[in-house]
Amino acid sequence: MSFQYLESNCRGDFGTWPVTASLASACHVARGSMASCNLILYAIPCSRGRLNVIYSKDIAPALGAEIFGIDLAKPLVPNIVQEIHQIFLDRSVLVFRNQALTPKQQVRFARYFGSVVPYPFLKGLECCPEVLEVITRPEDGVNFGGGWHTDTPYLEIPSLGSVLYAKELPPVGGDTIFSNMYLAYDALDRETRSFLDGQQAVHSANKRYAKPADRSQIYGQIKQAGNKKNMSLENYHPIIRTHPETSRKSLFVSSLHTTTIKGMEEKAADSLLARLYEHQASDAFTCRVVWEPDTLVIWDNRCVLHNALFDYAGYKRRMHRVTIEGDRPT
């Protein structure tokens, strides 16, 4: 089967399509540009001589892609995992709609990308400890994940990525904005890039989680793990980080967790970081994910910042989150 066959015969409805007997004999990969879509991933034979097609569509020029035609409740074959992983590396944020998933199925999907680890400070579900239930209650004045950040940079080994699944949503609001730190780095002037190369930033959990009253409000109904030693976690990492899989450079600081630049006078460090924070939030680097029930999103914490908007005060929002183990930034 050639891509030209798909392009000429399969415009419009991207669900299941009639195919010839020869096409129904195997699973094929085809790449190219198709209508408003960017990549055709797989044409998979299914019942009654029809073909199920998995494809992706970019969310914004900077990053993000929605994947269609796939049921994550079922195990994925290795070739499809490989294709999805490549789009993950290319687009950094993947969105899957209409996924009816159990916690264990969400964990299984996360494991296609790496080992799953518990989130620090907080307890997971009783039935599936790897899954953290994140709840914002109607009476809460702040939300979990609000503000630009990458997850767990205060650990020696920050997470590779996060997998977030929408269980219960407010009637309006609650979107998440993502920002591409490859592009943020590329857009820096040569002098700034040269200065930042080799510099290390300090990241602290205390900047966000130090006060018990703040933790209680931010976490809503999330259960505290009770390990107070973890509350002093602090680590430093390169400000310019090289992605271990793509070898691309990105800007690795965030307003939520970065406290200073190692070895730099405090006032100068604060001034430089403020400039970087403003730069990171440029609309040119971002995409916006509008949540719907049963939407699953995975993002690459190694090269992406995210900001969970809190514009739904008075309503409940309940999400399931899984954390994927990463590597020490270099």
The one-letter amino acid code at 320 reads H
Beta bridge partners of 250: 241
Q: What's the chain's length in residues? A: 330
208 is catalytic: no
168: tokens are 């219960």
Rounded CA-CA distance 1/9 in Å is 12
Single out the catalytic residue among 149, 237, 243, 257.
Answer: 149
| Integer Rg of the chain from CA | 21
Q: Is 189 one of the annotated active-site residues of the chain?
A: no
Q: Give the integer Cα–Cα distance in Å for 99 and 312.
A: 23
Could you tell me where the DSSP H helices lie in 44-189?
A: 78-91, 103-111, 181-186
Of the residues 151, 237, 317, 320, only one is catalytic, namely 151
Q: How many CB atoms lie within 10 A of CB 171?
A: 7
> Is 300 marked active-site?
no
> Helix, strand or coil for residue 212?
helix
Q: In angstroms, how far is CA 294 from the centroid of its own chain? A: 16
Please say whether the beta carbons of 244 and 327 come within 8 A.
yes
- Catalytic-residue membership of 321: yes
Active-site position among 91, 257, 302, 306 = 306
Catalytically active residues, by annotation: 149, 151, 306, 321
